[in-house]
Amino acid sequence: MPELAEVDYYRKQWDAGLGSPVTHVHLNGEKRIFRGTDTEALAEALIARRLRGSESRGKQMLFCFSGHCWLGLHLGMTGKLSTGPADYIPAKHDHLVLFQRKRALIFNDMRQFGRVLFARTPEAPPWWRDLPPDAASPGFTRELMDRFLDRHRKLAIKPALLLQDGFPGVGNWMADEILWRAGIAPHRPCSTLGDAERQRLHKETRFVARQALAKIGPDFADPPRTWLFHQRWTRTGICPKHKTPLQRAAIGGRTTAWCPACQA
């Protein structure tokens, strides 16, 4: 489910626990979601630590605790964050629950395509520090985007938009929204995009990312009514501009919807 703006929405769900110490940690270290992470160190180190703050970058989240503890979360396809009462009883896919005196901070991910990372280091760990600037940030420049497209000449633009090294935070619905606004057909190889098209691609990537953060980020509201978003899942979906039926196909293995009239 979660792309850039939804990730930021979920991150803020744990704000309720800011400043409070962790009293108890619930997790099952056998689960795939913890692959590569020392869960015993995590569970032990977080006890009595206070949640100091959090950030999201693209689809990644970082939770900063006292004692130089850093918790990284990725929501995968089905992950969500929520809070519960102090006596909350963990449900089936609640892989990590941080209990505080007054509440529980819950990470649930049914399909476990997400991930939990942990580090106890003076500075933010490399897996956070080395992330490229996300699509909504000022660091996402035309030059950076061009360099990425030039590295993937043969790849269709739709699957290119889903690569998190180049378009951090963009997911399936955002990619379709961006291409629709930019007037670019999803199967076009990156190398075929001219200067004007690249300019539009860059502009609309930033627009969709920023608008999504502003409109969806605060309360998980739906995007504006005129967005392709509302049309792309329904069988009868139409182009918001032309009212013509949308085309749909799997491109790069992912369901893609586009308007044949305005995307060339």
Partner DNA sequence: CAACCTGTTCGCCA
Partner DNA sequence: ATGGCGAACAGGTT
Question: Which residues would be at the binding site for DNA (CB under 7 A)?
Answer: 1-3, 6, 32, 59, 74, 76-78, 92-93, 110-113, 115, 151-156, 159, 162, 164, 171-173, 190, 233, 250, 252-255
User: Judging by beta carbons within 10 Å of its beta carbon (0-12, 13-18, 19+), is residue 17 exposed, middle or buried?
Assistant: buried
103-109 and 94-100 as β-strands: parallel, antiparallel, unpaired? antiparallel
Q: How far apart are CA 150 and CA 154, in angstroms?
A: 9
Min. distance of Cβ 189 from DNA in angstroms?
A: 8
In whole angstroms, the minimum distance from the beta carbon of 46 to DNA comes to 22
Nearer to DNA, 51 or 160 (CB): 160
User: How many other CB atoms are there within 10 angstroms of residue 175's CB atom?
Assistant: 25
The smaller minimum CB distance to DNA, of residues 22 and 119, is found at: 119
User: CB 107 → DNA: shortest distance, Å?
Assistant: 15
Cβ atoms of residues 228 and 240 within 8 Å: yes
Measured from the CB atom, is 233 or 260 closer to DNA? 233
- Please name the amino acid found at residue 258: W
Q: Minimum distance between the CB of residue 9 and DNA, rounded to whole angstroms? A: 10
Which residue number, 49 or 57, has a Cβ lying nearer to DNA?
Answer: 57
Residue number, 59 or 206, with CB nearest to DNA:
59
Nearer to DNA, 17 or 58 (CB): 58
Helical pair 195-215 and 4-13, crossing angle rounded to 10 deg? 20
What is the rounded CA–CA span in Å between residue 233 and residue 80?
21
Nearest to residue 157, comparing CAs of 263, 246, 1?
263
- Shortest Å, Cβ 248 to DNA: 8
12's CB contacts (< 8 A; 6+ apart) are 54, 217
CB of 181 to DNA, least distance (A): 17
Q: Is residue 31 packed enough to be buried (19+ CB in 10 Å), middle (13-18) or exposed (0-12)?
A: middle
Region class of 146: left (phi > 0), else alpha (psi between -120 and 50), else beta: alpha
Q: Return the number of the residue (1 or 221) whose C-beta is nearest DNA.
A: 1
Structural tokens at position 45: 């180190």
CB of 176 to DNA, least distance (A): 9
Measure the CA–CA gap between 134 and 163, rounded to whole angstroms. Answer: 12
